[in-house]
C-alpha cells in the first residue's frame, strides 16, 4: 500500500508544470500501434494453394515452409522446374502499387542496391512471389570464412549503405519511407517496448519508484538527443540476418519498414549486431571508413558519440523484441543472443557519465550491466 501511494505521489509530481531541464518521471508511454493481424498456418496454407492454382506449373510445385523472422508473415520455398522461388504471405491483403515492401524495393533497385526480384503479386490474398536468394545469411557466411574475407564482406555492406544515403537524397522524396521517421515518439515507444517486454515481461523485474524515475529520465535524455540529429533514409533493420549472400554479393531483405533516421542508425545495427561478434579493431576501422565517406563533415568525436548512443538504443530495442518473442509468443529462438546484446549495451552505457543513472538503475535488475 505504501509503495502504491508513493507511486501515485510520483505520478502527480511528474504531471505538474515546472521549469528546468529535468525529464519525465514515468516511462515514455506513447500510444501503441494497433495489434497486427494474426495469420494462422491453416489460413496461410489455404491462400498459398489458391495462389498456386493460378500459377503456370503451380499445381505440380512442391512447397517447403521456411523459418520466419519475428514478423507476422509466413514464408515458403516453391520448388519447381527451372528456378525455385519464395512465397511471402502477409496477414492482410496488399496493394500492389502502394505496399511498403514493393515501393521500397523499387527505390532500392533503382539505386543499384541488390534486392530480390518480384515475380508475381496476388494482392487480395496477400501473397508475393519472390526470387529465391538461398539460405546463406551474412551471419552464416562470416562464420565460414577467415577474418580478411569477413572484413571484405562488411565493406561490401557499407558500400551499399553509403549508396543508400547518397542516392536517396536525390530527386523527389514522396514515397512513404520518406514521410515517417525515428522521431522522439518512435524512439520512446521502442524504449517502453524494452521496459515492458524485457524488463517486466521476460526478466520479471520489480522496479522501485526511484529506479522507474532514473530509467525514465535516462530514456528521455537518450531519445531526445537522438531525435535531434540530422536524418537520412535507413533500412531500419540492417543486420547480419537481413543480408543474404547470393551470387557472390550481398542482397537486402526485410526492408519494408525503411524510414528516416540518423546516419549512424543502420551502422549501429550492423556493427553492434546481436547475432555476430566482430573484433573491436575491425569495428573501429569500419566505422571510421564509413564516417569519412558518409558524413565527412562530422568530427570523429561527434560521430563516435552518435554511433555509440545509437547502439544503446538499438540494443535495448532488440532486447525488447527478444523478450516479447519469448514471454508473449513462446518463441525462444532469440534467447541465445541476449548475452551478447547486453554486453554491447553495457560497453556503450559505461562510456557516458550522463547516462550513469540509467545504467545503475538497470544494473540493479540486470546484473549483466553492472
User: Is 70 buried (19+), middle (13-18) or exposed (0-12) by CB count in 10 A?
Assistant: middle
pLDDT at 289: 98
Place of cell 543474404: 244
Residue ranges of domains in the chain, CATH in brackets: 41-131 (3.30.200.20), 137-369 (3.90.1200.10)
Enter the C-alpha cell of residue 146. Answer: 577467415
Helix (H) or strand (E) holding 261: strand 259-261
pTM of the model: 0.87
**The Cα angle at residue 83 between residues 249 and 115, in degrees rounded to 5:** 35
Number of H helices, E strands in the chain: 12, 9
Show pLDDT as tens, one digit a residue, over the chain (370 residues).
444 444 444 444 434 333 333 444 454 555 555 556 678 888 888 898 899 888 887 776 788 888 766 567 899 999 877 778 999 999 999 998 899 999 999 999 999 999 999 999 999 999 999 999 999 999 999 999 988 999 999 999 999 999 999 999 997 889 999 999 999 999 999 999 999 999 999 999 999 999 999 999 999 999 999 999 999 999 999 999 999 999 999 999 999 999 999 999 999 999 999 999 999 999 999 999 999 999 999 999 999 999 999 999 999 999 999 999 999 999 999 999 999 999 999 999 999 999 999 999 999 999 999 9
310, 266 contact by CB (below 8 A): no
**Cα atoms in the 13 Å half-sphere on the side-chain side of 357:** 15
pLDDT at 212: 97
pLDDT at 40: 87
pLDDT at 147: 86
28, 223 contact by CB (below 8 A): yes
Q: Which of 48, 73, 56 is nearest to 125 (CA)?
A: 48
Distance between CA atoms of 234 and 238, rounded to whole angstroms?
A: 8
**DSSP bridge pairs for 74:** 89
pLDDT at 6: 44
pLDDT at 25: 46
Place of cell 528521455: 220
pLDDT at 171: 78
pLDDT at 55: 85
Contacts (Cβ under 8 Å, ≥6 apart) of 76? 48, 63, 64, 65, 66, 86, 87, 89
Instruction: Write the CA distances from 195 to 129, 191, 248, 302, 319, integer angstroms.
Output: 37, 6, 41, 28, 9
**Cβ neighbours of 208 (radius 10 Å):** 14
pLDDT at 29: 55
pLDDT at 16: 39
Amino acid at each position: 500500500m505504501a509503495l502504491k501511494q508513493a507511486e501515485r505521489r510520483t505520478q502527480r509530481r511528474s504531471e505538474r508544470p515546472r521549469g528546468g531541464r529535468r525529464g519525465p518521471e514515468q516511462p515514455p508511454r506513447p500510444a501503441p500501434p494497433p495489434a497486427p493481424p494474426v495469420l494462422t498456418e491453416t489460413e496461410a496454407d489455404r491462400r498459398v494453394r489458391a495462389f498456386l492454382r493460378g500459377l503456370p506449373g503451380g499445381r505440380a510445385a512442391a512447397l517447403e515452409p521456411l523459418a520466419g523472422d519475428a514478423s507476422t508473415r509466413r514464408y515458403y520455398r516453391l520448388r519447381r522446374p527451372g528456378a525455385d522461388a519464395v512465397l511471402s504471405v502477409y496477414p492482410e491483403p496488399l496493394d500492389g502499387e502502394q505496399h511498403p515492401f514493393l515501393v521500397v524495393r523499387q527505390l532500392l533497385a533503382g539505386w543499384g542496391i541488390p534486392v530480390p526480384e518480384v515475380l508475381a503479386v496476388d494482392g487480395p490474398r496477400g501473397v508475393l512471389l519472390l526470387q529465391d536468394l538461398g539460405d546463406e545469411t551474412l551471419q552464416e557466411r562470416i562464420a565460414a570464412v577467415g577474418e580478411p574475407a569477413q572484413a571484405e564482406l562488411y565493406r561490401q555492406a557499407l558500400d551499399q549503405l553509403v549508396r543508400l544515403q547518397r542516392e536517396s537524397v536525390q530527386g523527389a522524396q514522396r514515397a512513404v519511407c520518406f514521410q515517417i521517421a525515428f522521431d522522439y515518439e518512435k524512439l520512446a515507444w521502442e524504449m517502453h517496448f524494452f521496459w515492458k517486454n524485457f524488463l517486466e515481461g521476460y526478466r520479471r523485474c520489480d522496479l522501485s519508484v526511484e529506479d522507474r524515475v532514473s530509467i525514465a529520465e535516462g530514456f528521455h535524455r537518450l531519445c531526445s538527443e537522438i531525435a535531434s540529429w540530422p536524418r537520412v533514409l535507413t533500412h531500419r533493420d540492417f543486420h547480419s540476418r537481413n543480408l543474404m549472400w547470393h551470387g557472390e554479393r550481398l542482397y537486402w531483405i526485410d526492408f519494408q519498414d525503411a524510414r528516416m533516421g540518423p546516419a549512424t542508425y543502420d551502422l549501429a545495427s550492423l556493427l553492434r549486431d546481436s547475432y555476430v561478434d566482430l573484433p573491436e579493431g575491425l569495428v573501429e576501422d569500419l566505422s571510421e571508413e564509413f564516417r569519412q565517406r558518409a558524413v565527412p563533415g562530422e568530427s570523429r568525436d561527434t560521430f563516435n558519440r552518435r554511433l555509440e548512443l545509437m547502439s544503446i538504443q538499438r540494443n535495448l530495442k532488440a532486447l525488447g523484441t527478444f523478450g516479447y518473442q519469448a514471454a508473449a509468443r513462446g518463441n525462444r529462438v532469440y534467447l541465445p543472443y541476449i548475452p551478447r546484446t547486453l554486453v554491447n549495451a553495457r560497453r556503450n552505457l559505461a562510456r557516458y557519465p550522463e547516462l550513469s543513472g540509467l545504467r545503475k538503475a538497470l544494473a540493479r535488475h540486470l546484473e549483466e550491466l553492472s
